[in-house]
Structure 1
Amino acid sequence: MLIFLDTETTGLEIKDRLCALGMIVEGTSHYELINPGKKIPPAASAIHHITNEMVKESPSFSQSISAEKLKSLNTAENTLVSHNAPFELTMLEKEGMTWQGGVIDTLKCSKSLMDDLEGYSLQFLRYELRLYRDEMKIFQEVGITINPHHALSDALHTRMILDYLLDLADIDRLIEISKSHVLLTRLPFGKYAKKRIEEIALKDLGYLTWMLESLMDMDEDLRYSIEYYLRGK
């Protein structure tokens, strides 16, 4: 069984926690606000539009319906599908839940199977892959409103991205990709954005070395890729 999951959080740092969870399982949707036990900063509210007043009376994750549902689904036979799954899994682990089943990270799989795109965020792929052409019908079938950066809406867009990826690889291959590092061929940002990393290693070794030493929050696949090409020097 595939579980499509997206969360909203108080931020991206170690101290941050869940404040909403959206999930789609076999056409059934679930959404719940979660009391994170800490203040939601304005910068986070500006993205997902969840305020401290909205979660004031909401349950903590351990007392939530979301926790009950995930606990019942948390078996080796089920596969969790998310866009940037490592982040979602880390947030669940902060709440005391370690996922036992398979994992498909549609972000990592998109990078691996479509390595020539300019971006890989959920909303970028929504337009790059022209998912918007069919999304109204699909959202109406599930009874969900299209609302970017809302956990339930994003979970359904994640399902649409998976459907696209299944034309490029089967489920087992996507699970395998999600377990592995993706070797990126181009830098996604910086003064050499969209240039091949292998060529940059030949022309400006110092820049790549600087990136490794200075960008502590670098994407793990980008770090792996830069180190890979530097080892070839």
Structure 2
Amino acid sequence: MPPAPQPQLVRVIDLETTGNAPPAHAVIEIGWQDVALGVDGRWELHGEGGRTFVNPNRPIPPVTQAIHHILDEEVADAPQWIDVARQALDPWPRRVALAAHRSNFEEQYCTASFTRNADWICTWKCALRLWPDSPSFSNQVLRYWRKPAGLDHRRGLPIHRAYPDAYVTAHHLRDQLNEASVAQLLAWSAEPGLLPRVRYGPDRGKDWREITDDSLASFLSDRDVDIRFTAETELARRRGGGHVGRASAQELLL
């Protein structure tokens, strides 16, 4: 009897690094947690996940240590990123995509040569679309606002460490995959973030649909790509196409 086929999965990853931008900065820890498609058509967390330290070949700045509390001596004997990345990032051939919360950060380090040109799901961008009523969209605020089913509180701690953060993100991704298709999440992730509320100024906190045309026009040249994209989308809605806010059922089936 042939073995049962292995489930399709999305691998959620989280990185801790020496700073925000390679090549000046480097990875010091990677964590991962898989989310797999079950026989019942529902997505669930799959396996135990994992984590490993990485030697960044440079000192960890004190300001960065203050966030994740990883010490130079803890990574001194760890493997190099080039020896860790492919195995951690590429559970081929079952992997449908990679995912991370604000995946643009991880994508800087997890380049195509390490991922076999994987597609990425950004759970932050998808949360903006699916859960626009959240008071904020950080990994941890979503955790406590949504209270995802099955999330073990202690397993998701400490924050700002690679596996606990990946574990929490995996619960958001699981629920997003059970609300919208993979194709829809990938499509949203390929665009800038669609913000449900104005970030600053006299209209701060308002739904974009509530502000005046003059106020909206002031955001069309904003330096922030997410703000500019949202303002352009709202302008298109006012002219008869597109929308800002919660996606329609039809869109979720894309």
TM-score using structure 2 length:
0.72
1:49 corresponds to which residue? 69
1:183 corresponds to which residue? 194
Aligned to 1:58, what secondary structure does the other structure show? coil
1:4 to 8, 12, 15: 12
- For 2:156 and 2:193, locate their aligned partners in 1 and report how far apart those are by CA, in whole Å: 33
- For 2:119 and 2:141, locate their aligned partners in 1 and report how far apart those are by CA, in whole Å: 26
Could you list the runs of 5+ residues in structure 1 that have no partner in the other structure? none
In the alignment, is the contact (CA less than 8 A) between 2:54 and 2:78 conserved in 1?
A: yes
Q: Deviations over 1:29-78 (max 9, x none)?
A: 221111112222122111111122221222220133x433434x255953
The within-5 A match list for 1:75-114 is: 78-93=96-111, 97-114=114-131
TM-score using structure 1 length:
0.78
1:117 to 116, 126, 134: 134
2:53 corresponds to which residue? 33
Could you say what the CA RMSD is over the residues aligned between the two structures, in angstroms? 3.0
2:167 corresponds to which residue? 156
Q: How far does residue 203 in structure 1 lie from its aligned partner after superposition? A: 4.6
- For 1:201 and 1:44, locate their aligned partners in 2 and report how far apart those are by CA, in whole Å: 42
In the alignment, is the contact (CA less than 8 A) between 2:55 and 2:77 conserved in 1?
A: yes
In the alignment, is the contact (CA less than 8 A) between 1:81 and 1:106 conserved in 2?
A: yes
1:60 corresponds to which residue? 80
Aligned to 1:136, what secondary structure does the other structure show? coil
Q: How far does residue 170 in structure 1 lie from its aligned partner after superposition? A: 2.5
Aligned to 2:135, what secondary structure does the other structure show? coil
- For 2:228 and 2:75, locate their aligned partners in 1 and report how far apart those are by CA, in whole Å: 37
Q: Quick one: structure 1 residues 38 and 168, their matched pair in 2 at CA, closer, same or farther if it must change by over 3 Å?
A: same
In the alignment, is the contact (CA less than 8 A) between 2:128 and 2:196 conserved in 1?
A: no
In the alignment, is the contact (CA less than 8 A) between 1:89 and 1:98 conserved in 2?
A: no
Q: How far does residue 201 in structure 1 lie from its aligned partner after superposition? A: 5.7
1:24 corresponds to which residue? 33
1:226 to 212, 226, 231: 231
Q: Quick one: structure 1 residues 119 and 188, their matched pair in 2 at CA, closer, same or farther if it must change by over 3 Å?
A: farther
1:127 pairs with 2:147: no
In the alignment, is the contact (CA less than 8 A) between 1:75 and 1:100 conserved in 2?
A: no
Could you list the runs of 5+ residues in structure 2 that have no partner in the other structure? 1-8, 35-45, 240-254
In the alignment, is the contact (CA less than 8 A) between 2:100 and 2:106 conserved in 1?
A: yes
Q: Quick one: structure 1 residues 145 and 167, their matched pair in 2 at CA, closer, same or farther if it must change by over 3 Å?
A: closer
Aligned to 2:199, what secondary structure does the other structure show? coil
- For 2:160 and 2:147, locate their aligned partners in 1 and report how far apart those are by CA, in whole Å: 18
In the alignment, is the contact (CA less than 8 A) between 1:82 and 1:155 conserved in 2?
A: yes
- For 1:223 and 1:53, locate their aligned partners in 2 and report how far apart those are by CA, in whole Å: 44
2:89 to 64, 67, 70: 70
In the alignment, is the contact (CA less than 8 A) between 2:27 and 2:56 conserved in 1?
A: yes
Q: Deviations over 1:117-148 (max 9, x none)?
A: 221110010001023x63228x7xxxx56321
- For 1:42 and 1:221, locate their aligned partners in 2 and report how far apart those are by CA, in whole Å: 31
